[in-house]
């Protein structure tokens, strides 16, 4: 695999040169905890003198010559060997973990060398050891040592998680927080985290299958802790501003961003075909288009032409009454993406965030949400993330009925979907689904760039189609006079659905429309449409600039109102395996002009949904207030009776 010019290669000989030091750390060293409490039980030494190896001299000013008060032996290799109940032979899992830790330590040390070389820290270390370090440069020296320690720690955790990801199993381990994060220098920092990993292995890895789970959990927590510390640490620019690559592992280090293995999800869901989604014409059509859009993603450029051209749906919300087909829509879209990815040989990762991941442990719900987001965002896979029953999972800000965990999830989703650091590459999409979208926080709901009204079967033909579909094949009931599934012909149904939005449907919005049309006449230019938008905002102050962005994004999607030909998905050489520039040109040729009708329809479609949500939200709030007033009235009556 070729390495782009903007990446620096960590050469294999630079990494393997640190194998001896890495093995030495894994075999044994002494460490007295300075932040964390507790110590692992001593492990009997297998060879004499193992714990008496000469320690490295600290290069931090003021620490030279200081001895530890009570050294605790750390023997990680023995800890891993002992996790299988005393089997005399090392298992493949144990060997994999040992190799991964050695490799991760060596990569981290090689990265530390590159950082030291780039920042001049090497010369400062030499001056310090020779006693020539001037007082004027001592602060710079200390800050660079701390920066190197943070870079080395994150790289170690990042590499450990990356190398062990292919060995992950279904087990999860809750290790709590990471404490022993030291930044005096890189070696002491590694000693601290290896000591704490040893503690966690003793506590949680009581069986062999838990070894990998414990190491992965610790690596994830360590990356979060170090990244948080790095936010206020100086002199990290040479690390965060550079990209390093390890060819043998195809491992890329980009500052404090976790690397992810291009590993797909083994899906066990029951997929649905498009004709099995009855009704929901616009939602089905957009889901089918979006499934093909995702496949245009270029793994070399890490970008999708649709994202560059402005027609990509990064987030969407599907809402409708219970039983209208939201789950079926998810099954259809996931099935299409999975099928396309199998043809192209792309890794596909589907993940659903459910109510089960709301945790009573403070901060854990937010961590679960971050892990969900990061797994789907992984630029090395095609991702599809769903949040079903979003109204139950993400709490409204200021709502006393929402738990702390729900509030954490809301904050994470808002930042991920449209935050300052959000980057839309076009390799993944997120869908939020709800029967009660009015109960979703307004700001979070507006971060859904597209709206899918999942209203289920509507016409007589729809109901005949769905009855025939659900009856199955084990019956002799005649069909009668009906053209089966003709009403589900997607292009005709979608055209009719879009045309129906030429005028608003919600009563409140219709009044605004009629008033503006009476004043300005037909809305046929940008000035008139802008006046209509302002009138909507005056009727509902929640209709902000973000709403306008979502509308214009939807209009751009309409300009891409074409499906990539099926043969492009069936034969990868026709499109999927083309270069990024070739894909961009092919898509640009299919793009349509934006029309006034498109803009009006998308304004009405989006505003209808906001008015629908607002009406339901206001009605729900009124009903709650009425119940509260009734309770207070009854309380006053009872209180007066007791007092009398």
Q: What mean pLDDT do residues 146-175 have?
A: 88
Q: Per residue in 547-559, pLDDT tens?
A: 888 888 888 877 7
- How far apart CA 503 and CA 512 sit, in angstroms, is 11
Helix (H) or strand (E) holding 29: strand 29-31
Q: pLDDT at residue 347 above 50?
A: yes
Which of 290-304, 326-340, 351-365 is least confident? 351-365
Q: Per residue in 2-15, pLDDT tens?
A: 444 457 899 999 99
83 confidence band (pLDDT: 50, 70, 90): confident
Q: What mean pLDDT do residues 308-319 have?
A: 86
Query: By the 8 A CB rule, do 300 and 377 touch?
Result: no
**In 278-389, which ranges are continuous DSSP H helix?**
281-294, 305-309, 326-344, 364-377
Query: By the 8 A CB rule, do 144 and 119 touch?
Result: yes
Q: Are strands 243-246 and 8-9 parallel, antiparallel or unpaired?
A: parallel
383 confidence band (pLDDT: 50, 70, 90): very high
- How far apart CA 292 and CA 285 sit, in angstroms, is 11
Q: pLDDT at residue 563 above 80?
A: no
CA atoms within 13 A on the CB side of 487: 18
- Count other Cβ atoms within 10 Å, centred on residue 87: 12
- How far apart CA 560 and CA 586 sit, in angstroms, is 12
Instruction: Please name the residue that has the structure tokens 């003198």.
Output: 49
Give the residue from 355, 428, 348 showing the smallest Cα distance to 389: 355
CA atoms within 13 A on the CB side of 106: 24
106 confidence band (pLDDT: 50, 70, 90): very high
Q: What mean pLDDT do residues 613-620 have?
A: 64
The predicted pLDDT at position 447 comes to 86
Q: pLDDT at residue 434 above 50?
A: yes
Give the residue from 605, 614, 620 showing the smallest Cα distance to 508: 614
Query: By the 8 A CB rule, do 44 and 167 touch?
Result: no
355 confidence band (pLDDT: 50, 70, 90): confident
The predicted pLDDT at position 279 comes to 66
Partner residues linked to 16 by β-bridges: none
- How far apart CA 439 and CA 441 sit, in angstroms, is 7
Q: Per residue in 479-536, pLDDT tens?
A: 888 887 776 666 666 667 777 888 888 888 999 999 999 999 999 999 999 999 999 9
Q: Is residue 558 classed as helix, strand or coil in its secondary structure?
A: helix
- How far apart CA 329 and CA 316 sit, in angstroms, is 13
Kindly state the tokens that stand for 604.
């009405």
The predicted pLDDT at position 69 comes to 37
Span between the terminal Cα atoms of the chain, in Å: 87
- How far apart CA 402 and CA 405 sit, in angstroms, is 8
Instruction: Please name the residue that has the structure tokens 């964390």.
Output: 36
Q: Per residue in 197-246, pLDDT tens?
A: 999 999 888 888 889 989 998 998 999 899 999 989 999 999 998 889 99
Q: Is residue 253 classed as helix, strand or coil in its secondary structure?
A: strand
Rg (CA), the chain: 30
Query: By the 8 A CB rule, do 352 and 388 touch?
Result: yes
Q: pLDDT at residue 52 above 60?
A: no
- How far apart CA 483 and CA 473 sit, in angstroms, is 17
- Which residues have C-beta within 8 Å of that of residue 142, sequence separation ≥ 6? 60, 61
Q: Per residue in 272-294, pLDDT tens?
A: 777 677 766 778 888 888 999 99
- Residues in the chain, total: 644
Which of 148-162, 425-439, 556-570, 609-623 is least confident? 609-623
Query: By the 8 A CB rule, do 375 and 351 touch?
Result: yes
Partner residues linked to 315 by β-bridges: 430
Q: Are strands 243-246 and 251-254 parallel, antiparallel or unpaired?
A: antiparallel
Give the residue from 261, 287, 279, 496 showing the smallest Cα distance to 380: 261
Kindly state the tokens that stand for 609.
């949904």
Q: What are phi and psi of 298, to 5 degrees?
A: -105, 115
The predicted pLDDT at position 638 comes to 86
Kindly state the tokens that stand for 635.
């309380």
Give the residue from 154, 167, 149 showing the smallest Cα distance to 100: 167
- Count other Cβ atoms within 10 Å, centred on residue 607: 27
The predicted pLDDT at position 62 comes to 37
625 confidence band (pLDDT: 50, 70, 90): confident
The predicted pLDDT at position 644 comes to 62
Q: Domains along the chain? A: 8-35+74-254 (no CATH), 274-622 (3.40.50.300)
Q: What mean pLDDT do residues 235-258 have?
A: 90
Partner residues linked to 31 by β-bridges: 72
363 confidence band (pLDDT: 50, 70, 90): confident
Q: Per residue in 154-165, pLDDT tens?
A: 999 999 999 998
- How far apart CA 626 and CA 41 sit, in angstroms, is 62
Share of the chain above pLDDT 70, in %: 88
Give the residue from 96, 98, 95, 104 showing the smallest Cα distance to 246: 104
Mean pLDDT of the residues in the chain: 83
Query: Which pTM value belongs to this model?
Result: 0.59
Query: By the 8 A CB rule, do 446 and 550 touch?
Result: yes
């Amino acid at each position: 695999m070729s390495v782009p010019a903007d990446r620096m290669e960590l050469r294999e000989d630079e990494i393997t040169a640190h194998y001896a030091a890495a093995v030495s750390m894994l075999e044994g060293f002494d460490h007295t905890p300075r932040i964390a409490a507790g110590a692992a039980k001593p492990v009997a030494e297998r060879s004499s003198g193992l714990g008496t190896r000469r320690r490295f001299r600290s290069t931090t000013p003021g620490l030279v010559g200081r001895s530890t008060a009570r050294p605790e032996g750390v023997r990680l290799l023995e800890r891993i060997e002992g996790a299988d109940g005393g089997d005399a032979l090392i298992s493949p899992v144990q060997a994999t973990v040992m190799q991964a830790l050695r490799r991760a330590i060596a990569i981290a040390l090689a990265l530390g060398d590159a950082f030291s070389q780039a920042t001049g820290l090497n010369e400062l270390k030499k001056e310090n050891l020779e006693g020539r370090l001037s007082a004027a440069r001592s602060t710079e020296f200390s800050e660079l040592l701390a920066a190197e320690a943070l870079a080395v720690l994150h790289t170690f955790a990042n590499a450990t998680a990356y190398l062990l990801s292919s060995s992950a199993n279904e087990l999860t381990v809750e290790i709590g927080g990471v404490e022993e994060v030291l930044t005096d220098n890189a070696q002491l920092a590694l000693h601290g985290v290896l000591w704490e990993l040893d503690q966690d292995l003793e506590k949680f890895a009581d069986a062999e299958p838990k070894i990998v789970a414990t190491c992965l959990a610790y690596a994830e927590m360590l990356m979060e802790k170090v990244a948080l510390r790095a936010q206020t640490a100086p002199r990290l620019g040479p690390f965060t501003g550079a990209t390093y690559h390890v060819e043998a592992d195809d491992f890329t280090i980009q500052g404090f961003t976790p690397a992810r293995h291009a590993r797909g999800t083994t899906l066990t869901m029951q997929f649905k075909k498009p004709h099995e989604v009855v009704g929901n014409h616009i939602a089905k059509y957009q889901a089918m288009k979006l499934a093909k859009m995702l496949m245009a993603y270029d793994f070399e450029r890490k970008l999708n032409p649709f994202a560059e051209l402005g027609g990509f749906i990064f987030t969407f919300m599907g809402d409708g009454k219970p039983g209208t087909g939201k789950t079926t829509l998810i099954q259809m879209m996931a099935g299409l993406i999975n099928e396309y990815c199998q043809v192209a040989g792309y890794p596909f990762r589907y993940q659903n965030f459910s109510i089960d991941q709301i945790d009573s442990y403070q901060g854990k719900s937010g961590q679960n949400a971050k892990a969900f987001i990061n797994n789907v965002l992984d630029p090395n896979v095609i991702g599809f993330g769903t949040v079903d029953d979003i109204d139950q999972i993400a709490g409204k800000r200021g709502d006393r009925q929402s738990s702390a965990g729900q509030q954490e999830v809301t904050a994470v989703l808002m930042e991920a979907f449209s935050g300052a650091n959000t980057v839309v590459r076009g390799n993944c999409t997120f869908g939020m689904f709800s029967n009660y979208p009015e109960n979703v926080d307004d700001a979070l709901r507006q971060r859904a760039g597209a709206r899918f009204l999942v209203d289920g079967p509507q016409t007589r033909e729809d109901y005949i189609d769905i009855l025939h579909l659900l009856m199955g094949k084990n019956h002799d009931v005649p069909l009668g006079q009906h053209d089966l599934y003709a009403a589900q012909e997607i292009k005709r149904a979608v055209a009719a659905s879009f045309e129906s939005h030429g005028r608003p449907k919600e009563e409140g919005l219709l009044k605004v429309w009629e008033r503006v049309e009476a004043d300005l006449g037909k809305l046929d230019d940008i000035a008139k449409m802008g006046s209509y938008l302002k009138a909507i905002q005056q009727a509902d102050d929640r209709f902000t600039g973000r709403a306008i962005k979502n509308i214009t994004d939807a209009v751009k999607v309409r300009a891409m109102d074409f499906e990539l030909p099926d043969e492009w998905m069936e034969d990868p050489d026709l499109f999927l395996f083309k270069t990024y520039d070739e894909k961009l040109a092919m898509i640009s040729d299919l793009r349509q002009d934006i029309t006034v009708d498109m803009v009006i329809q998308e304004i009405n479609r989006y505003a209808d949904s906001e008015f629908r949500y607002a009406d339901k939200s206001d009605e729900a709030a009124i009903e709650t207030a009425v119940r509260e007033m009734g309770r207070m009235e009854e309380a006053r009556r009872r209180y007066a009776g007791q007092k009398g």
